[in-house]
Amino acid sequence: MNASFPDPPPAPPARNRPSARNGPSPVAGLPPLHLLIAAPRGFCAGVDRAIEIVERAIERYGAPVYVRHEIVHNRYVVDSLKAKGAVFVEELDEVPDGKPVVFSAHGVPKVVPLAATERGLDWLDATCPLVSKVHRQAERKVEAGRHILFVGHKGHPEVIGTMGQVPEGAMTLVETLDDVARLDFPVDKPLAFLTQTTLSVDDTAEIVAALKARFPAIVGPRAEDICYATSNRQAAVKAIAPRCQLVLVIGAPNSSNSVRLVEVAEREGTRARLIQRADEIDPAWLDGVTTLGLTAGASAPEVLVREVVARLAQTRSVVEEPVTTAEEHMVFKLPRQLVG
């Protein structure tokens, strides 16, 4: 499952444009730019699956296919799917009768597919299976009589979707250590905790430790909720950041996992910038930079990584060095409606 996207528009020509491949010669008197490219980076299995669901739905049903909310948090991906026939809407009531609809990779509250079924709509659930696993855990914890403390970011679609799996009032959102200190539950209250899948590994560990210290009987998931892709991308940034003067993260401002990568680099003591496209790079950022780190959030396609490398190569000789900290081979099955 590898979604394909058109190449970005070519970068404008530049004088003395160097090769983006290993080239030792300086450009315009500047030293070569040593580029550490983190791996893993970019698309994860859940994003690949979600995009393929939209593409296959368009092939199966014909355009337009409606998508509730951004399928993933990346403008380039969304625009590419729009060009193929996807129509993105905020709410289900914007979907015309008789048209297919896809729910985003972040997941939706239970009432959304129920409403789609009541209207007789053909709907496809592109929720990442790792998010769906958290949904099932939430249901089981509540069925067992426990109140859930959910570690996540208010307003994020994944948080809205997860909290929408259980009755209102059955889950309390925890964002910070201060939130933990403000919790006021009796000592005998049965509690459980779950977490959003795209959080900072280090920050979440601190909050979970605080929850366990405050409520020793609290029950957590058998395995960590933060997804493998989030953890792997953060580990890769930790590996490159100490060697760099600057780290560039390709991702959207509303992409939780991308914003976390910026924070991870900064925690290592390295400047970091979040960019969506190569044209957002300010040349002044590179003043005095001889080693630059580059990564991409889980919703950013590889073509945008290559676009950034090409833009850098307009003014500096770029010496690329991939830094691999893990191999990923995860593949998620498609919905049965799209198989066969």
User: Which residues are the active-site residues?
Assistant: 158
**To 5 degrees, how large is the angle CA 281–CA 227–CA 320?**
35
With a CB cutoff of 8 Å and minimum separation 6, the contacts of 57 are: 65, 100, 102, 124, 338
- The beta strand positions in 163-301, using DSSP E, are 171-174, 191-195, 246-250, 271-275, 291-296
Rounded distance between C-alpha atoms, residue 76 and residue 218, angstroms: 42
CB 38 within 8 A of CB 237: yes
**To 5 degrees, how large is the angle CA 114–CA 120–CA 126?**
55
Q: Which two tokens stand for residue 85?
A: 């026939």
Q: Is the peptide bond before 335 cis (omega within 30 degrees of 0)?
A: no
Count of alpha carbons within 13 angstroms of residue 329, beta-carbon side: 1
Which one, of 251, 310, 303, lies nearest residue 276 by Cα?
A: 251
Q: Which two tokens stand for residue 300?
A: 């950013």
Identify the bridge partners of residue 319 per DSSP, sorted by sequence position. Answer: 34
Rounded distance between C-alpha atoms, residue 29 and residue 27, angstroms: 5
